[in-house]
Structure 1
Amino acid sequence: MPNQAADDAPLRPASQGETAQAGRPNTLYAHVWNLGKAPAFRVRIEFWWFDPSLGFSRSAGHLIGATYVDLADRFTVYAEWREVTEAYGTWLSRGAHAVVKCPTTWIPEFLNNGHECLVVRAGDTMFDPVALNSFSPSTDRHVGQRNIAVVQAASPAQATVDLQLGWYATPGQADVDVVVEPPGTMEWLQLYAGSRNTRLRTPSSTAAAGLLNPTPVDVTLPDPEILVPAERSKLLRQRQQFYRGCDQLHIPLHAYIPDLKPGEAQIIRTRQRIDEELVGGYTVVLIGHE
Structure 2
Amino acid sequence: MPAHLIIEDGNPWWWDSADIWVVPGNDPNGAPGAPIAGTSNYLWGRVHNTGNSASNGVRVDFYWADPSGQIAVGAATQIGSAFADLPPGATQEVLCLVPWVPVIVNGGHECLLAVAHGAGDINPLPDPLPNGFLFQPTQHDQIAQRNVTVVLAARRAQLLAIRVAALPRQARKVALHLEYGGDVPARLLATLGLGKLRPAKAGLVKAGLALTPHCNGEAPDAQKLELDVPRGQAVPVYLNLRPAVLPEGEYALLRVLETQDGKVTGGITYLVVEQGGQRHAGQDSQEEQAS
TM-score range with shorter-chain normalisation?
0.7 to 0.9
**Which residue in the other structure is 1:142 paired with?**
142
Shift of 1:121: 0.5
Matched to 2:143, the amino acid is: V
Residue 109 of structure 2 is matched in structure 1 by: 115
Alpha-carbon distance, 1:191 to partner: 4.0
Quickly say closer, same or farther: Cα 1:237–1:65, change in 2 above 3 A. Answer: same
How many residue pairs get matched? 245
Contact 2:199 2:251 (8 Å CA) reproduced: yes
SS of alignment partner, residue 189 of structure 1 = helix
What TM-score results when the alignment is normalised by the length of structure 1? 0.75
Q: CA deviation at 1:186?
A: 4.8
Aligned twin of 1:97: 91
CA distance in 1, matches of 2:66, 2:60: 20
The equivalent of 1:255 in structure 2 is 241
Match of 2:208 in 1: 210
Separation in 2, partners of 1:200, 1:248: 33
Quick one: which of 194, 203, 214 aligns to 1:223?
Answer: 214
Other structure's SS at 2:249 match: coil
User: Do structure 1's residue 66 and structure 2's residue 81 form an aligned pair?
Assistant: yes
Determine the C-alpha separation between the residues in 2 that align with 1:201 and 1:24. Answer: 31
Deviation string for 1:193-244 (max 9, x for gaps)? 564x4245337x642112113xxxxxxx2322xx2x22x2x2x111122444
Amino acid in structure 1 at the alignment position of 2:97:
P
Q: Alpha-carbon deviation of 1:137? A: 1.4
Alpha-carbon shift at residue 110 of structure 1 (Å):
0.5
Q: What runs of 5+ residues in structure 1 fail to find an aligned partner?
A: 75-95, 214-220
Which residue matches 1:89? none
Aligned to 1:201: 200
Contact 1:134 1:140 in 2 (8 A): no
Deviation at 1:189, TM superposition (A): 2.2
Cross-structure match for 2:56 = 41
| Structure 1 segment 164-183 matched on structure 2, within 5 A | 164-168=163-167, 169-182=169-182
Q: Secondary structure of the equivalent of 2:107? A: helix
In 2, Cα distance between equivalents of 1:3 and 1:237: 38
Q: Secondary structure of the residue that 2:74 maps to in structure 1?
A: helix
Show CA shifts across 1:73-120 (max 9, x none): 12xxxxxxxxxxxxxxxxxxxxx1100001111122202222111111
Between the aligned partners of 2:185 and 2:180, the Cα distance in structure 1 is 12
Per the alignment, residue 218 of structure 1 pairs with none
**What stretches of structure 2 of length at least 5 have no aligned partner?**
1-22, 277-291
Write the distance in 1 (CA, Å) between the matches of 2:177 and 2:94: 34
The structure having more radius of gyration, on CA atoms, is: 1
Instruction: Quote the offset at 1:70 in angstroms.
Output: 1.3
TM-superposed CA distance for 1:279, in Å, is 2.1
- AA matched with 2:109: H
Q: Secondary structure at the match of 2:83?
A: strand
- TM-score, normalised with respect to structure 2: 0.75
Question: Take 1:152 and 1:61, find their aligned partners in 2: how far apart are those partners?
Answer: 26
